[in-house]
Structure 1
C-alpha cells in the first residue's frame, strides 16, 4: 500500500455517552432491542455528528446471524434486510455493524477502494460470513494482501462458555476457535478462529481490540445482561 493512499476510517463505540435509559443505558444504537426509538435515533445522530458524516449516509443492517453478504452503493432509507455483511466501493458511506458479544469485523482495501462491515457471531462465523465478505471484496477489485482487518470488542474465549459438542462443531468449521474457559469448561473464541481464517485467506494486516464484552461493563453484553443495547463498528472509505 502506498504511503500516499488515504486511509479508511474505522471505529468502535461503547455504551457510554448516549440518551437511552437502563437497561439500554446509554449509547444504544440498536433499533431492534426494545429501546425507545427516539433515544435510539438521538444516539445515531450523535454518532453521525461525532464522525462529521451526514446521518443519512449511515447504512445499518437487519442482522440475522446468516452468511449473507450485501453490496450497497449509496444511502438507504431503512436497515438493509436479512444480511450480516455490507460491502461498498462508495466513498464516504458509513457501514455499520451492531453487536453485544458477537465480533464486529471491519475490512478495507484502500488501494482498490473497497470496504466491509461484518457481523460475525458464533453461527455466522461458523458458516463463513467473514470468508464470504473477503471473497466479495475480491470480486470488486480488492486484493487480500491489501486488506486491513480490524476486529472489535467481543465475547472472549475465557468467558464464552458453551456445551462441548457446540465448541467441537464450531472448531470443525472455524479452526482455532475452540478453547477452555477460565472455569475449565469448553468455550469458543470467535476472534481467534477468525484471525486464523483471515490469515488463511491471505489477509495478513489484522488488528484486534481485545476487550471482552462479557467481562467489561463498558460494553453491552447479551450473555451478561439479557435485555441490553448494541454498540457499533463503523467503516468509511475516504472521499
Structure 2
C-alpha cells in the first residue's frame, strides 16, 4: 500500500509536481511521465496500473486484469489478480485501501463526501466478502484527506451525511459545522466487523505537501495504490 504526495514529479504549477490525474487540466505528457515514475518506484509495468473514472458514485467494480483506460463510472475496484495495482485519485476525499491477504482479495475505494454517505466503503467490503474475504481478516488503511478541523460544511449537510454515515459529524477548529469522513468510515468499518484499521491523520486542506481541491481549486491529484505481489 502506498500513498503519494505532491512532491517528486514533473508537472508545473498549479499541478506541481507529482500530479497523477489526467482529468484536471494538466499537460498529458507530464502526467504520463509522473505515472511512469510511479510505476518505476513500485517496480510494476505502467500497464498493470488500473485507474478509475471517479464520479462520486457507490459503484464497485471487480477487475481481473489491465484496462485500456480508466474503469468507467466507478468509485471502487476489487481484484484477486496478482501484480495488478489498483489506484484511487484524491485531493481531499478519503482514499481507502483494503486487503485480505489470506483470501487474496484487495480493493481501492474513493470515499468522498457523497460516496461515503452513500455506502461506497460498505459496498466495497461486501464485494470483497463475495470474493472470499472475511471482515475479521480485512486490513484497511485510510489515507491523507480533509480533516474535521478544516472541512466546514453547512449545518444541514453535516446532519444529512451523519444520518447515513454516523460519526462523521463534527465541529471545525472555528467551531462551525464540519465533517470528519475518516471518523465516520472507521465507525462504519467496525460495524461491519472490520477492526484492523489504520488512518493517516494528515489533513490535505492545511498540509501543503498534498493537493487540495478545497484549498486551491484547480490543482493536481495524489494517489493511493494497492497491489498483491507474486510470492
1:103-161, Cα deviation, whole Å (9 max, x unpaired): 00000000000000000000000000000000000000000000000000000000000
1:79-99, Cα deviation, whole Å (9 max, x unpaired): 000000000000110000000
Does residue 180 (structure 1) correspond to residue 135 (structure 2)? The answer is no
1:172-213, Cα deviation, whole Å (9 max, x unpaired): 000000000001000000000000000000000000111000
In the alignment, the residues of structure 2 paired with residue 135 and residue 12 of structure 1 have an alpha-carbon distance, to the nearest angstrom, of 24
In the alignment, the residues of structure 1 paired with residue 207 and residue 171 of structure 2 have an alpha-carbon distance, to the nearest angstrom, of 19
Per the alignment, residue 6 of structure 1 pairs with none
For these two proteins, the number of residue pairs brought into alignment is: 230
In the alignment, the residues of structure 2 paired with residue 175 and residue 238 of structure 1 have an alpha-carbon distance, to the nearest angstrom, of 35
Q: What SS does structure 1 have at the residue aligned with 2:183?
A: helix
Per the alignment, residue 5 of structure 1 pairs with none
Give the alignment partner of residue 95 of structure 1, picking from 77, 82, 86: 86
Give, in angstroms, the shift of residue 220 of structure 1: 0.0
Per the alignment, residue 118 of structure 1 pairs with 109
Give the alignment partner of residue 79 of structure 1, picking from 70, 74, 77: 70
Does residue 217 (structure 1) correspond to residue 208 (structure 2)? The answer is yes
Q: What SS does structure 2 have at the residue aligned with 1:141?
A: coil
Per the alignment, residue 56 of structure 2 pairs with 65
Q: What SS does structure 2 have at the residue aligned with 1:210?
A: coil
- Tell me how large the CA RMSD over aligned residues is: 0.4
In the alignment, the residues of structure 2 paired with residue 172 and residue 68 of structure 1 have an alpha-carbon distance, to the nearest angstrom, of 20
Q: What SS does structure 2 have at the residue aligned with 1:149?
A: strand
Give the alignment partner of residue 143 of structure 1, picking from 128, 134, 148: 134
Per the alignment, residue 124 of structure 2 pairs with 133
In the alignment, the residues of structure 1 paired with residue 127 and residue 8 of structure 2 have an alpha-carbon distance, to the nearest angstrom, of 35
1:45-97, Cα deviation, whole Å (9 max, x unpaired): 00000000011000000000000000000001100000000000001100000
Q: What SS does structure 1 have at the residue aligned with 2:108?
A: strand
Q: What SS does structure 2 have at the residue aligned with 1:86?
A: strand
Q: Which runs of 5+ in 1 are unaligned?
A: 1-9
In the alignment, the residues of structure 1 paired with residue 228 and residue 43 of structure 2 have an alpha-carbon distance, to the nearest angstrom, of 14
Per the alignment, residue 4 of structure 1 pairs with none
Runs of 4+, deviation exceeding 6 Å: none
Give, in angstroms, the shift of residue 238 of structure 1: 2.5
Give the alignment partner of residue 5 of structure 2, picking from 14, 32, 40: 14
In the alignment, the residues of structure 1 paired with residue 25 and residue 130 of structure 2 have an alpha-carbon distance, to the nearest angstrom, of 37
Q: TM-score normalized by structure 2?
A: 0.99
Does residue 43 (structure 1) correspond to residue 31 (structure 2)? The answer is no
In the alignment, the residues of structure 2 paired with residue 232 and residue 118 of structure 1 have an alpha-carbon distance, to the nearest angstrom, of 11
In the alignment, the residues of structure 2 paired with residue 116 and residue 183 of structure 1 have an alpha-carbon distance, to the nearest angstrom, of 35
Per the alignment, residue 152 of structure 2 pairs with 161
Give, in angstroms, the shift of residue 237 of structure 1: 1.3
Per the alignment, residue 97 of structure 2 pairs with 106
